[in-house]
Amino acid sequence: MKKKYPCLFCLSFSRSFKSEEHVLPRGLGNTLKVLPPGVVCDKCNNGVLAGLDEVLTNFDPIKFQRIMNGITNREGKVQPSKHNNLDITQIGPNHLGVVMKSKKASYFQPTETGFNLTVVGGHKITNSYMKKVLRALYKMGLEMVYSDLGARTAYAKRFDGIRKIVLGQQDFSGSVAFVKHPEIIRKAEAKHHTYIMGGKKVSFFNFNYYGVQMLYGMEKRNARESDKIPSGVLDIISVHKGK
C-alpha cells in the first residue's frame, strides 16, 4: 500500500521508515511527544536530525538546566554539563559537584545567602553555530505542528521553506528571542500559536526548557527592525545568511 504522506522533512516516499522520532531530543528527557515510525524517514532521523538534536542538547542555557534539574538521557544517566570555565557533574541524588577549570576568582563569589557562580559558555555564539541551534528549534516546531495540528497542516506549502532549512539545503536568516517569564516553569513544553499576518498564516513557538524560554517564528523568522528589545525579552539572537 502506498504511503499517504512522505517524510515530513525530505518529502521522500521511498526511503525506509522504521524509526520513531522524538520531538524533544532524548538527551533532554523524553517529556514531549514521540512521532510514530512512518512520519520521518530513517535517513533524515538518524542523520541530519540526530545531529541537530545533539546541538540543542549541548546548547549552554539548555545544558545547564538539564543538569540542574537532574534530567536523564536514554541510558538513565545525568550527563555532566561541561562549560568553558567549569564542569558540573551529578555526584549523588540532589547533589552536584562543580569542578572549576579556571582560577579566575570572579567566577565564584560567596554572598550572604550562598554564592554566585558564573558559567562561561562552551560555545562561541557565532552565526553558523546559532544557525544550527535555530534549525534544531525549527525541527522541533514542525514536529509539534504535526503532532498537535495533524498531517494536513504539517505538510502545507508554508512549511516547505522550514523543511529545506532544517535539512541544511537552504541558507536563511532568522532569530530567537529569550523571554523572561514571570514564574519559572520547571518542565519542558512547547506552545504553538498561529496568527494571520499580512493575510497569511504564520506560526510561532514558545519553547520552555525548565525556565529557559525561547520564542521563534517558523515563517516570520527575522526579529523586528527596531533595535529596541521589547519588554519581557531578555535577549534576541539573530542569524544572517552566509558564514
Residues that bind Zn ion (CB under 5 A): 7, 9-10, 41, 44
Beta bridge partners of 213: 179, 208
Shorter beta-carbon distance to Zn ion: residue 8 or 133: 8
Q: Among candidates 171, 57, 205, which has minimal Cα distance to 123?
A: 57
CB of 22 to Zn ion, least distance (A): 15
SS3 236: strand
Shorter beta-carbon distance to Zn ion: residue 14 or 128: 14
H or E element that contains 136: helix 127-149
CB of 141 to Zn ion, least distance (A): 17
Distance CA 238, CA 121 (A): 18
C-beta atoms surrounding 204 within 10 Å: 17
Shorter beta-carbon distance to Zn ion: residue 5 or 172: 5
Query: Phi then psi for 90, rounded to 5 degrees?
Result: -85, 120
CB of 17 to Zn ion, least distance (A): 9
CB of 178 to Zn ion, least distance (A): 30
173: left (phi over 0), alpha (psi -120 to 50) or beta: beta
- 8 A C-beta contact, residue 73 and residue 24: no
CB of 48 to Zn ion, least distance (A): 8
Shorter beta-carbon distance to Zn ion: residue 77 or 157: 157
Written as nine digits, the cell of 140 is: 522541533
Distance CA 162, CA 41 (A): 17
CB of 227 to Zn ion, least distance (A): 39
